[in-house]
Amino acid sequence: MLDWQKIIKEEIEKCEMTTFLTEDGKGTYPYVILPFDGRIKPKFMKAVIKGMTLMLKDEIKRATTILLPEAKGFLLTPLIETTGLDLALVRKRNYRTPNQIIIKQTKAYKEGENLMYCIGLKKGDVPLIVDDIISSGGTQISIINALKKHGFDIAGVGSVFERENGVENIKKETGYDAKVLARLEIINNKPVISKIFGVV
């Protein structure tokens, strides 16, 4: 393993666990309290940005813009320095502008729809969608569908972490092969990195 891979694995596997109620209140689901939820060490962020830049090098060459969804996707803004690309944001705020892109977001543990908005993309942009985690893939699928509806060519989809079957869902629903830096699983109520980019 390279240094950045070791750092990600070590930092995540010592994260605390908790549980949340499902939206209907009828059950619970386990949740790993990742560094993106609380406190981020410089060495962890540097490792993530290095890994993401390596993993998405082909997509970065094709992209004009990196698209980050609110809220924790915003933590990946250091990619602006390693890629030299503009950043565009997907927000939960309705700017009420005529050219904004409206995204109907669905989430793994929440019923119904949330609306999200993007005003940072312009005609001719080739966005690379990057997020902190893919769970069900609902957020990413919603963004892809909205961008395709507006005629955008999408460079690719990348995420730091993957849980559940989100990558497969994205492929099935949109045809895009999402790339993830690390596969996060919960084994014996502990977080485990079972797979990491670049390690066979």
pLDDT in tens, 156-177: 999 999 998 999 999 999 999 9
Cis peptide before 155 (omega within 30 of 0): no
Query: Strands 65-69, 190-196: parallel, antiparallel or unpaired by DSSP?
Result: unpaired
Total tally of structural domains belonging to the chain: 1
Q: What is the DSSP letter of 164?
A: T
- Whether residue 154 contacts residue 147, with contact meaning beta carbons closer than 8 Å, is answered with yes
pLDDT in tens, 89-135: 999 999 999 989 999 987 655 555 789 999 999 999 999 999 999 99
CATH number, domain of 70, equals 3.40.50.2020
pLDDT in tens, 71-92: 888 999 999 999 999 999 999 9
Tell me, what's the pLDDT at 22? Answer: 82
Query: Which CA distances in Å does 175 have to 72, 97, 167, 168?
Result: 25, 30, 10, 10
**Phi/psi at 24 (5° precision):** -85, -5
Q: What's the domain range around 170?
A: 3-196
Query: Strands 190-196, 127-134: parallel, antiparallel or unpaired by DSSP?
Result: unpaired
Mean residue pLDDT of the chain comes to 93
**Phi/psi at 127 (5° precision):** -80, 145
Dig out the tokens for 194 from the structure.
Answer: 């079972």
